[in-house]
Amino acid sequence: MRTIASIVLLFCIAQPANAETGHELWLRIHGVDPVKVICSGNSPTLSIAVRELEQGWGGEAGASVVLAVKPDKSIKGDGYRLTASGVQANTELGILYGVYEMLRRQQTGQPNRETVSNPSYERRVLNHWDNPDGSVERGYAGRSIFWRGGDDSLVVTEKDRALWLEYARANASIGINGSVLNNVNASPQILSKQYLARVKEIADILRPYGIKTYLSVKFSSPSLLGGLKTSDPLDPQTVQWWEAKVKEIYSLIPGFGGFLVKANSEGQPGPQDYGRTHADGANMMADALKPYGGIVMWRAFVYRSEDKDRARQAYSEFMPLDGKFRDNVIIQVKNGPVDFQPREPFSPLFGAMKKTSVMPELQITQEYLGQSMQLVFLAPMWEECLKSDTYQEGPGSTVARSTDGSLFQQKHTAIAGVANIGLDANWCGHHFAQANWYAFGRLAWNNGLSSEKIADEWIRLTFAPNEKEPAAESKSAGWVGSLLIPVKEMMLQSREAAVNYMMPLGLHHIFAGNHHYGPGPWFAPKGIRSDWTSPYYHQADKDGIGFDRTRRGSNAVIQYHEPLASQFNDPTTCPEIYLLWFHHLPWTYKTKSGRTLWDELCYRYDTGVQQVRRFQKIWDRVEPHVDAQRFGEVQSKLRRHYRDAQIWKDACLLYFQQFSRLPIPYDIERPVNDLEDLMRIDLKLSHHN
């Protein structure tokens, strides 16, 4: 006995922690216990459900599980009921989602209580900003998993198929049921016969996993691809062209989801080019899709350089159109009124458009939040937005409720996330960026979930020692206290840390030009439109800093329902996290802490840097509990993260100090870099992507 024990012990010590590439995502735990699955039907989706149970069972060995497609009024859409004996649902997909939840509970140590779970949104969609040549706009995890350039660009290989299958499974496991396969800055090529053939291949693989395929389309496709003289949405030939194209798509791709459109935005063509409105354009496409059950997701991301406040524009342009859209059009609105900044108040369109379906668009890819270099868990940011009260139908009219159908009668409900997925072995570039993909899926399913719960689940699934492995015992000793708790704390603080070292107190869009990774509060090349420069947003001068959006300024506050409009309008009642979003204030303005605005800024920037330093320490201590590969990769990213947080602090403080002319408080670490150097180097140059 003792010999066996010591051999086992020796084995455990001698065995280096297995290397993990991260490719398995949150699906790395495989069960080995037998299970008997009794399933009432037979279909591709149900077979997947059965197989998942057989390969992942971590419950009582030899148990029987019943999967029953059986109508039940308390179950909605593809929701499910978990019972003592198995899963019940109205649809096959509901069964599959129930199975994934059952396994997740086993793997995360949650009891399998009887529950009904219904999705918050009917459509839970990833938006891929992938281009036909294989590049990914704002992608930081390698090239596209769907497209590649070159001679064989449209050949579908076994490797492609295998990857798409893994992608489908990962999405289904967290409830995502739609993918837009190409960039909103769309190439007309995507609707050509050759490209549609590839789209069909992808759609065939995604379908059994319940994932509908959508495409982004360029509004002028009838002219660019079809050779028509115009793409005017009211022109009968244009209408016919779209009808024929939609028919062609559905003949290839049954259950096709519909179109996503970026129109009259950042140079993209749109109905306004022909003197028509967004509603004219969206409705024309919606009518073509209607007979097949397709929808149009029409983006509200619009702004013009002539307007003096970018934050007001989506609302000004779309509110007059409320009620003018078909019921299969959903207006897709970014969470904030400007552009996926580290922190923005919610977009005032939420709750305000009462006669139109509105869906939130979140950005999973970290364009403005450290890309794949920095560890930033985004669930707290999304939770903050979804829980924001719009007051549009009285207190409690949160963004979540104003978009999920509980406040307004919407024919369709949806939520979108801009994907952070690429060909990198770990899919997302940074191991912790996987948590953002995961969080998007979980929140799209249940928009009331807390960030804490999501982080807890994800860490367990991603880092827990697999209890079925021989070396598990030693690895799992103290795992909760040594890894789960500190890593969770780190994740939950990481977004606030990023806000602190990048843009505290409501500052926004002071990035280096174009790539949006490092600081560039000075960014204002000659001749560029002013709303693409940083000074437009921070407005720093010798008197103070911040964008005046009060009644005396751009009056963007008026777009919010009372009591918010008045609250935001007054610096003493405006939440401090949005202070400089709404106000231009003197450097010596007294903040809530009692410090002057300048001192408070210094303090926040410094706090952000210290938080990242702490993350490094937390991570260093988890080494015994994580495989060597992932440990090392995260550790090295954190080193870079810390360095760049320091650069953010130094750049912003030294730059703004030119205006404030005030000293950095003595109890705060001095900047370690020089402003001239920081303005010369472009952080992106040393970026690995």
Q: What is the DSSP code string of 262-300?
A: --SSTT---GGGGT--HHHHHHHHHHHHGGGT-EEEEE-
Q: Determine contact, residues 547/553, Cβ cutoff 8 Å.
A: yes
Site for ligand GCW in 414-473 (CB under 6 A): none
Q: Which is nearer to ligand GCW, 128 or 649 (CB)?
A: 128
Closest contact distance (angstroms) between CB of 184 and ligand GCW is 5
Helix, strand, coil percentages for the chain (3-state, nearest 5): 45, 10, 45
Binding-residue pattern over the window 626 to 665 for ligand GCW, x denoting contact by CB under 6 A: ----------------------------------------
Binding residue for ligand GCW, selected from 122, 339, 404, 599, defined by CB under 6 A: 339
Asked if 536 and 546 touch (Cβ cutoff 8 Å), the reply is no
Instruction: Enter the tokens of residue 501.
Output: 């070292």
What are the DSSP E strand ranges found in 364-505? 414-418
State in angstroms the smallest separation of the CB of 394 from ligand GCW.
32
Q: Which of 122, 339, 383, 531 is flagged as catalytic? A: 339
| Radius of gyration (C-alpha) of the chain in whole angstroms | 26
Distance from C-alpha of 162 to C-alpha of 159, rounded to nearest angstrom: 5
CB of 301 to ligand GCW, least distance (A): 5
State in angstroms the smallest separation of the CB of 299 from ligand GCW: 7
For the CB of residue 129, give the shortest distance to ligand GCW in the complex, in Å: 5
Element holding 198 (H helix, E strand): helix 193-206
Q: Which is nearer to ligand GCW, 97 or 140 (CB)?
A: 140
Task: Clarify whether 160 is annotated catalytic.
Answer: no
Nearer Cβ to ligand GCW, position 341 or 390? Answer: 341
CA–CA separation, 415 and 399 (whole Å)? 12
- Nearest-approach distance from CB 221 to ligand GCW, in angstroms: 17
Cα dihedral 60, 64, 65, 68 in deg (nearest 10): -170
Active site residue 543: no
Q: Is the dihedral of CA 180, 182, 183, 186 positive or negative?
A: negative
Among 649, 656, 664, 655, smallest CA distance to 611 is for 649
| Size of site (CB under 6 A) for ligand GCW | 11
Among residues 262 and 604, whose Cβ is nearest to ligand GCW?
262
Q: For ligand GCW, which residue of 153, 185, 406, 539 counts as binding (CB under 6 A)?
A: 185
517 near ligand GCW, rule: CB under 6 A:
no
Supply the minimum distance, in Å, between the C-beta of residue 516 and ligand GCW: 6
Which residues from 350-369 bind ligand GCW, rule CB under 6 A? 367
Q: Is 138 in the site for ligand GCW (CB under 6 A)?
A: yes
Which CB atom, from 78 or from 367, has the smaller least distance to ligand GCW? 367
Binding-site member from 57, 121, 129, 523 for ligand GCW (CB under 6 A) = 129
Strands 115-117 and 178-180: unpaired
Q: Contact with ligand GCW (CB under 6 A): which of 340, 346, 350, 631?
A: 340
Residue ranges in 155-174 that form contacts with ligand GCW under rule CB under 6 A? none
For helices 434-445 and 379-386, the axis angle rounded to 10 degrees is 30
CA distance 480 to 486: 9
Question: 93 with 109: CB under 8 angstroms?
Answer: no
Report the distance separating Cα 380 and Cα 451, nearest Å: 6
Considering 248, 266, 541, 543, which one is annotated as catalytic?
Answer: 266
Pick between residue 185 and residue 272 the one whose CB is nearest to ligand GCW: 185
Hey, what are 402's tokens? Answer: 């104003």
Give the span between the Cα atoms of 578 and 575, in whole angstroms. 6
**Which residue's CB is nearer to ligand GCW, number 313 or number 596?**
313
How far is it, in rounded angstroms, from Cα 281 to Cα 274? 10
Closest C-alpha among 295, 257, 284 to residue 180: 257
| Residue in 184, 202, 284, 497 binding ligand GCW, rule: CB under 6 A | 184
Stretch 242-271: interaction string toward ligand GCW, x if CB under 6 A: --------------------x---x-----
Q: Which residue is nearest to ligand GCW (CB)?
A: 339
Of positions 33, 72, 137, 467, contacts ligand GCW by CB under 6 A: 137
Q: Which is nearer to ligand GCW, 484 or 502 (CB)?
A: 502
Give CA separation, 417 vs 358, 362, 366, 438, in Å: 14, 5, 11, 11
Shortest distance in whole angstroms from residue 334 CB to ligand GCW:
7
Binder among 57, 147, 214, 301 for ligand GCW (CB under 6 A): 301
> Residue 632 in contact with residue 606, Cβ under 8 Å?
no
Give the shortest CB-266-to-ligand GCW separation in angstroms.
6
Judged by CB, which is closer to ligand GCW: 139, or 521?
A: 139
Known catalytic membership, residue 92: no
Which of 52, 78, 344, 367 does the annotation list as catalytic? 367
Q: How far apart are CA 178 and CA 671, in angstroms?
A: 46
Q: Which of 86, 360 has the CB closer to ligand GCW?
A: 360
The CB density around residue 201, as the number of other CB atoms within 10 Å, is 17
Identity of the residue numbered 449:
L
How many Cβ atoms are within 10 Å of 121's Cβ, its own excluded?
26
CB of 340 to ligand GCW, least distance (A): 6
Active site residues per annotation: 266, 339, 367
Contact residues for ligand GCW, defined by CB under 6 A: 129, 137-138, 184-185, 262, 266, 301, 339-340, 367
